[in-house]
Chain A
């Protein structure tokens, strides 16, 4: 669809949404009044900035269903957020909302070349978490065969991948790295002994360097998927160009703002993602602050799609750690480590306070392939990692070389930061 038509559609849908939430939700009515805005004030897309933000805090304050905009008998399903950053939150869906969710993912999976004949192995958790069921419905909608394994039972994943000829897998990137590790231990090469060619990875921030490592070691194409439970679940992916995640403009209106001032930033500038839902009704969102840091790209993609793209999530406004006054995102540390072949892909950042000073230590695993038995080589490796971290973070970090397998593995979201500081 041409960009102008998409914008017209967004405008119409935004107006409907604003009228809808104003009519149906005491929460939004109250918020709009506080902000001095009425539905009629929204005349065009740019008027979106007149609307107040909503936040995770609002969701918690109205727990469990205070932000729902339709009676409960319209709701056909609940999901509960994993509570990565605090108390869990409840989201609800009408039948139509579930359809929209599946449709969104179906488009995304099509854009990475999947369809009928593909076997999608779902390695996201099923249940209250949206990952498993989301990918499940989206894959079925494009006619693919779904293998609903869920997270865990890693050996079974590898056996069935071989026996049933899985061509695609969806899980967290850290879980896929773990699957690959276990496959190697079992003497199975994902590249040579399976038909796997596509990976849909998300639910935790990861880097282009991790993508390269996954693709180089297993021969698959790794695509980033985005979507949070508040938006429905996993919804959007990169297209085959692997150059940003297309956010379907008829379904979502996205903005990227400066988290401090709340002002929109220019295309290409780093900021916090803000989402307004345009076709979601039991639990719509008006300018919901995702707390995910990204960069907006409104240019049409080389794939031909006109839907705007966001660059891969660079971190969260709240998983940012501040060490000695310097902002550090675990994703920055990850991208440094992934360029150093002598260390494994698993890592952990430990922040502690020694006296008045914050001390950051990064634990990395020494890989067998490059293990030198000379102490001097190991010392220089640790120095090199520390030096490259300093270049990127502008912060001196200790590096602790550890034995392989000693950094905790995760089947869901990896815990990359241990903050031992007591404030």
Chain B
């Protein structure tokens, strides 16, 4: 399985909340690969991919945050126009729904990386692989 773990944190939409989470991770020497914040009025959800998920999850939990781990895909996309189009098309044609996605670019990998949460992880993996799309493994994410 190529799915990787993403950490999600429930957070009230108030000054200083994100700082505390960031500090907790930094103190534990956990490095963020990608991060996105989805907000809905009074609260939001911070989602992130880190190098050491177990440790990140543990330190956040111990610090009193409401955290969960979610299986997501880290899909490599060509850093050229049309990169996302290909992936979205493949999933759409195969009836896989994207719940949310966020992208990041790494210097080392020389490619853009799309973090993707889908409703059917197994099917998404199959159809993307069949379409020749590469997905990063946990180890690769750690190494970046």
Contact = CB atoms under 8 A, between A and B. Distances in A.
Interface string B32-52: 000000101011110100000
A373 B68 contact: yes
Among the interface residues A372, A373, A374, which one has the most CB atoms of the partner chain B within 10 A?
A373
A375 B12 contact: no
A371 B40 contact: no
Interface in A361-389: 366-368, 371-375, 378-379
Contacts of B100: 374
Interface string B41-81: 01111010000000000000100111110100000000000
Contacts of A406: 12
A400 B42 contact: yes
Interface string A400-421: 1111111000000000000000
Nearest to A377: B45
B12 A371 contact: no
B70 A373 contact: yes
A403 B65 contact: yes
Contact of A403 (B6, B12, B61, B68): B12
Among the interface residues B8, B10, B47, B65, which one has the most CB atoms of the partner chain A within 10 A?
B10
B67 A368 contact: yes
A287 B17 CA distance: 53
B40 A375 contact: yes
Contacts of A373: 6, 8, 45, 47, 68, 70
Contacts of A405: 64
Task: Say what secondary structure dominates the interface of chain B.
Answer: strand
B99 interface: yes
A372 B67 CA distance: 9
Contact of A368 (B42, B61, B99): B61
A374 B99 contact: yes
A370 to B, nearest CB: 9
A403 B66 contact: yes
A379 B67 CA distance: 17
Interface of B: 6, 8, 10-12, 17, 38, 40, 42-45, 47, 61, 64-68, 70, 99-100
Interface of A: 366-368, 371-375, 378-379, 400-406
The 6 closest A-B pairs by CB, nearest first: A373-B8, A368-B66, A371-B66, A375-B40, A371-B68, A366-B10
17 contacts: A367-B66, A368-B61, A368-B66, A368-B68, A373-B45, A373-B68, A373-B70, A374-B45, A374-B99, A375-B44, A378-B45, A379-B40, A401-B42, A401-B43, A402-B43, A403-B65, A405-B64
